[in-house]
């Protein structure tokens, strides 16, 4: 039996609807992380950065932390978009319209995940534009930068979709973001290099997936990182594929989609 052709119209409709949803609330979805990034850059970069010695020779502290700040907000933005969209759809029962539409489980998952990824990419580019205005931030390897920006957004959006399916309350959405993503972001090398850590803590950093996201984007921007960008790319890519497959599987079995 031949597989059904990909429903481009249905997929595009779902994707467009979800993108328009977060763009219609841009003051809540995109503006806050940009403002927070500006504050991080001003406080940690300009006010305190001049008193901190260079972590990478020839690279100012503010230019060192910009990639980490960028990635931290990409991770949070992509995660929150997908988790909130799916949970809100369940809460309002509007997700039933998606379930009865002529969409495959792959197309449903792809629509939600790519919409969340779009928010992550927009936030990442916005943070970069802010950084350019206040620092000497640059991109040494454009395609590597684009890869880590997009694949990280997909990874975190897929994880957010999984949490959105699991969540039974708004608290369930906030718990992973507050007690998992945020701590891992700060411990993932946003403001420091693992070379500054005791050996035991440095080894633990290699178990932190956000460590590879931060170092991957940092390598593409300033040409320095604590781990090979190839290794970072493989780890982030493998995790993105794993979480997306898991997300499709949960849609296929109808996990917490129907009361």
Q: For 191, phi and psi rounded to 5 degrees? A: -110, 5
Closest CA to 191 of 69, 88, 109: 69
Q: What is the pLDDT of residues 34-72, one digit of tens each?
A: 999 999 888 876 666 666 666 777 888 888 999 999 999
**What pLDDT digit, counting tens, does each position of 90-108 carry?**
999 889 999 999 999 999 9
User: Residue 259 pLDDT > 60, yes or no?
Assistant: no
Q: Which two tokens stand for residue 98?
A: 């998606």
44, 191 contact by CB (below 8 A): yes
- 74 close to 152: Cβ distance less than 8 angstroms: yes
Instruction: Spell out the residues 6+ positions from residue 256 whose beta carbon is closer than 8 angstroms to its own.
Output: 90, 165, 166, 168
Q: Across the chain, where does the E strand assignment appear?
A: none
pTM above 0.85, yes or no: yes
In angstroms, what CA-CA distances link 88 with 38, 145, 157, 161, 203?
30, 32, 15, 11, 39
CA dihedral 153, 158, 161, 165 (to 10 degrees): -160
pLDDT, one tens digit per residue, over 5-37 is 899 999 999 999 999 999 999 999 999 999 999
Helix (H) or strand (E) run with residue 252 in it? helix 229-253
d(CA 81, CA 120): 9
- The separation between the first and the last C-alpha atoms of the chain, rounded to the nearest angstrom, is 32
Distant-in-sequence contacts of 132-136, Cβ < 8 A, 24+ apart: 134/38, 134/41, 134/42, 134/45, 134/46, 134/62, 135/41, 135/45, 135/60, 135/62, 135/63, 135/66, 136/60, 136/63
């Amino acid at each position: 039996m031949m597989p059904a052709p990909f429903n481009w119209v249905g997929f595009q409709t779902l994707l467009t609807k979800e993108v328009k949803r977060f763009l219609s609330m841009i003051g809540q979805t995109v503006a806050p992380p940009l403002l927070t990034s500006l504050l991080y850059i001003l406080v940690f970069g300009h006010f305190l950065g001049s008193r901190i010695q260079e972590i990478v020779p020839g690279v100012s502290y503010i230019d060192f932390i910009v990639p980490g700040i960028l990635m931290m907000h990409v991770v949070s933005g992509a995660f929150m978009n997908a988790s909130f969209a799916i949970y809100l759809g369940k809460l309002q029962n509007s997700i039933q319209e998606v379930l009865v539409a002529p969409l495959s489980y792959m197309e449903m998952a792809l629509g939600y995940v790519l919409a969340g990824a779009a928010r992550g990419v927009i936030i990442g580019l916005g943070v970069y534009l802010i950084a350019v205005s206040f620092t000497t931030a640059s991109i040494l390897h454009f395609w590597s930068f684009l890869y880590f920006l997009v694949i990280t957004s997909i990874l975190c959006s897929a994880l957010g979709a999984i949490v959105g399916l699991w969540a039974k309350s708004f608290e369930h959405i906030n718990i992973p973001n507050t007690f998992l993503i945020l701590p891992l972001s700060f411990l993932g090398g946003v403001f420091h290099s693992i070379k500054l850590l005791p050996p035991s803590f440095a080894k633990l950093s290699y178990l932190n997936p956000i460590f590879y996201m931060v170092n991957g984007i940092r390598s593409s921007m300033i040409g320095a990182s604590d781990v090979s960008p190839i290794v970072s790319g493989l780890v982030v890519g493998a995790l993105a594929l794993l979480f997306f497959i898991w997300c499709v599987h949960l849609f296929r079995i109808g996990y917490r989609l129907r009361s």
